[in-house]
Amino acid sequence: MKRKYMKALSVLAALSLTISLTACGGNNSDNSASSGNSGAANDGTKKIQIKVYAQHFDEDTAKPFDYAVEELKKEMPNVEIVLDEAVQDGYQKLKTYAATGNMPDIYETDWITLQTFAKSKNVELLDSYPETADFKSKLNTGLESRLTAPDGHVYAFPYTGIEFQLIYYNKDIFQKAGIQTPIKTVDQLADAAKKLSAAGYTPMAIFAKEKWITTAFYAGLVTREDAKGFGDLEAGKPTALPTAFVTAAEQMKKLQEAGLFDANATNTNYDQASSQFYSGKAAMFINGQWEIYSSTEKLGDKVDWMYTPAKDEATYESSKGFINGAGSPGGFSVSPSSKNKETAVKVASFLAQKYSEYKYTVLGSPIVSVKVDKPMTGEVPPMMKRIADEVLPNVKSYATAVNNVQIKNAIDDNTQNILVSGFTVKKFTDNVNRILAKENK
Amino acid sequence: MNRYLSNKKAIALFLLPALLIYSVVIIYPVLQTVYRSFFNWDGLSTATWNGISNYRDLLEDPLLITSLRNGLIFALVLAVFQIGLGTVLALACADPRIKGRKLLKTSYFIPVVLSVTVVCQLWIAMYDPANGLINRLFNLLHIPYQQNWLTSPTVSIIAIAFVNAWQFMGYQFSLLYAGVKSIPEQYMEAATIDGCSKWMAHRKVTIPLMKETYKFCLIVAITSGIGAFVQMLIMTSGGPGTSNYTLTYMIYRYAFMESNYGYACAVSVVLVALSLLATMIINKTFDRNEA
């Protein structure tokens, strides 16, 4: 009886082991297939499969990518792109791929994640590849920081230039409320906020549930005072906020107290904020220059953008060429574990260039990484034309980015806090200073 | 004796698969978390030994105070609302004079089975300062009180805790109701014959006899409060600033937003330790009272 019982148990154990091993084996085979190896095409030729983890969820991301892939088919017919659609999860899925040794051949990511990947050797150093030298030769002026990281290495091929934030405004509402444009100073913007509130409008729609947008607004004010922007918080190793940053915090608080932002701003998401602006309930809206297409589509010639105001008109005029966008490395990177690394590097560089080409020729965006020698075919929105004619030729400098995650998070948290009544500038400086003292000691 | 030993072997053999699974999915990750809390580790690169630095840094981390305070507020709201109101409702539903008790019992449990995301979105709309139902209701009732429910750093944590309490009150209610129903009717009858009012009978008989149920409910409320996370994430993303952070939110931030997994592991250890401590205190307090 006892032997029988033991036998049954052994069989059960063997079965469960077999099942689990089969499952593991199944996973492995799946992984190897998806990591992108050779496959046979319909015409019998061998194709190299390259798995690309890229954003592909709306017109702005899907169309340029699809265009680049179509162009790749002409240039490298032996390569087949397997798309792995990126999710907006702060690159958690990508980090999981890295942790499990399942990286796609090419992936799209930002500088914060690239720094972790560089330390853990999950990103291929592109420094010595001929494609990198070629990419550098085609790079638009002033965009070196998009390709070459602060540590001197190249980790990714970027497709956009340095993007920056704009204040969009509804010209009709401004006219109705009797507000003169352009607004040049913080005081003028505070007055405008009061007038707009009195007229029943939300002065500025801001999706401050996302902390980066309050940081972006603050960055605009800082850059008027200090051309280097947040970069000075790291490069200069200050243990307390420099004057420019305190001034900008005071200006932001002044604007909050003038009623520029909605009481529910810190709990407003993009959809809510943009719909306030597009439905004519809000007079202003803040977002990156990429919002130009949507705002033109929704508001036509009623909408325009303005520069971030400064403490006085003289500062406004002298600092107009300081751009609040900070260039940081990002774009298409290559995994060192790719079985077709050389091909993947070529493909990554090609995709980035063609992505730029689409954005320039079809969307009329001049904010692309490489020079494009084809003419624009699409209709260029007037606001984008203003950027091309008025801003880019007169850029004096781009702000520099802060790479330290703790400092960046401290600014994110506390700029969001400024939008809350009762949160003082002193609390702001105390909170950020605590982090600066710790990180820059 | 032999028979006893062979039985022991059989028991051990039967337990082995479960123990193996338990070790792999529970014990190993817990030990790994404790071990990793002594390292500087970004989740991908080689971890470097950090000693007790993570714990030392944690003591100086202002987020810890915020998170502990919020956890405590959350736990208090849950305890008062779920257990207090839950008891009243359980007593009411156990009273045969109340008509429609079955419908009431079902209605209390409905929020429990709703998706947390849906419930949060619903309450976000209700809390909206301009168009939300709550502020409008105050207006309608001529109550001169308007609040930025989810954007005020002081009020929002209570507002969020209330949502959690509201949603999961049905769960605590079902436990309390079972507790009330488990008390033999003779006890209440005896109390009534002795001249107790209904309220006094509940105070002197029902509630003391439900001690074990209360102990469990309180442990659930306190540990849920300390570890609360989802509602904060959905309703305010932890903001404004970090005013709605809890220990679990801290773990999320350090692990997933800052890739500081070693430090996040240290916060996890503190979270588990606090939950265990709270459970022990509740157990001891209830057991002492029993003695």
For residue B169, the domain's CATH number is 1.10.3720.10
Token readout for A229 is 């922007």
Please tell me the predicted confidence (pLDDT) of residue A39.
Answer: 52
Euclidean distance between CA atoms A424 and A417, whole angstroms: 9
Please tell me the predicted confidence (pLDDT) of residue B95.
Answer: 85
Which residue on chain A is closest to B235 by alpha carbon? Answer: A267
SS (H, E, C) A425-438: HHHHHHHHHHHHHH
The answer to whether B49 contacts chain A (CB < 8 Å) is no
Tell me whether residues A267 and B235 touch, CB distance under 8 A.
Answer: yes
Q: Which residues contact A167 (CB under 8 A, 6 or more apart)?
A: A204, A220, A284, A285, A286, A305, A306, A307, A308
Euclidean distance between CA atoms A317 and B14, whole angstroms: 81
Please tell me the predicted confidence (pLDDT) of residue B229.
Answer: 96
Q: Which residues of chain B fall short of a pLDDT of 50?
A: none
Please tell me the predicted confidence (pLDDT) of residue A329.
Answer: 94
Please tell me the predicted confidence (pLDDT) of residue B200.
Answer: 87
Residue B274 lies in a domain: no
Please tell me the predicted confidence (pLDDT) of residue B198.
Answer: 81
Tell me whether residues A2 and B236 touch, CB distance under 8 A.
Answer: no
Please tell me the predicted confidence (pLDDT) of residue B152.
Answer: 94
B42, B62, B242 member nearest A119 (Cβ): B42
Please tell me the predicted confidence (pLDDT) of residue A57.
Answer: 87
Please tell me the predicted confidence (pLDDT) of residue B19.
Answer: 95
Residue B173 lies in a domain: yes
Residues of A in contact with B17 (CB under 8 A): 16
Residue B250 lies in a domain: no
Fold of A48-162+328-372: D-Maltodextrin-Binding Protein; domain 2 (3.40.190)
Tell me whether residues A2 and B6 touch, CB distance under 8 A.
Answer: yes
Does A48-162+328-372 match A165-324+400-440 in CATH topology?
yes
Residue B260 lies in a domain: no
A90, A116, A422 member nearest B42 (Cβ): A116
Instruction: Give the residues across from A47 on adjacent strands.
Output: A39
158-217 in chain B: CB under 8 A from chain A: none
pLDDT along chain A (441 residues), means of 10: 49 42 37 45 74 90 95 96 92 92 95 93 96 97 94 96 96 96 97 97 96 96 95 91 97 98 93 96 96 95 97 96 93 97 98 96 94 92 95 93 90 96 96 94 87
Of A273, A164, A255, whose CA–CA distance to A209 is shortest?
A273
Residues of A in contact with B151 (CB under 8 A): 263-267, 420
pLDDT tens-place string over residues A5-30: 545 444 444 444 334 433 333 333 33
Euclidean distance between CA atoms B278 and B281, whole angstroms: 5
Would the CA dihedral through A365, A367, A368, A370 be positive or negative?
Answer: positive
pLDDT tens-place string over residues A264-297: 999 999 999 999 999 999 999 999 999 999 999 9
CA distance B4 to chain A (A): 14
Total domains, chain B: 1
Tell me whether residues A266 and B258 touch, CB distance under 8 A.
Answer: no
The answer to whether B5 contacts chain A (CB < 8 Å) is no
Residues of A in contact with B44 (CB under 8 A): 95, 98-99, 116-117, 119-120, 122
Residues of B in contact with A266 (CB under 8 A): 151, 236, 239-240
Residues of A in contact with B153 (CB under 8 A): 417, 420, 422-423
106-145 in chain B: CB under 8 A from chain A: 124, 128-130
Euclidean distance between CA atoms A229 and B169, whole angstroms: 50
How much is the ipTM here? 0.86
Residue B153 lies in a domain: yes
Write the Ramachandran bin of B44: left for phi over 0, alpha for psi from -120 to 50, otherwise beta.
alpha
Q: Which residues contact A377 (CB under 8 A, 6 or more apart)?
A: A361, A362
The DSSP symbol for A60 reads: H
Which residue on chain A is closest to B253 by alpha carbon? Answer: A409
Beta-strand (E) ranges in A271-396? 282-288, 303-306, 322-326, 331-334
Please give the class, per CATH, of domain A165-324+400-440: alpha beta
Please tell me the predicted confidence (pLDDT) of residue B98.
Answer: 85
Structural domain containing residue B121: 69-244
Domain boundaries, chain A: 48-162+328-372, 165-324+400-440
pTM for this model (two decimals): 0.86
Tell me whether residues B148 and A264 touch, CB distance under 8 A.
Answer: yes
Three-state secondary structure call for residue A399: strand
Residues of A in contact with B129 (CB under 8 A): 263-264
Please tell me the predicted confidence (pLDDT) of residue B185.
Answer: 85
Tell me whether residues B43 and A116 touch, CB distance under 8 A.
Answer: yes
Residue B265 lies in a domain: no
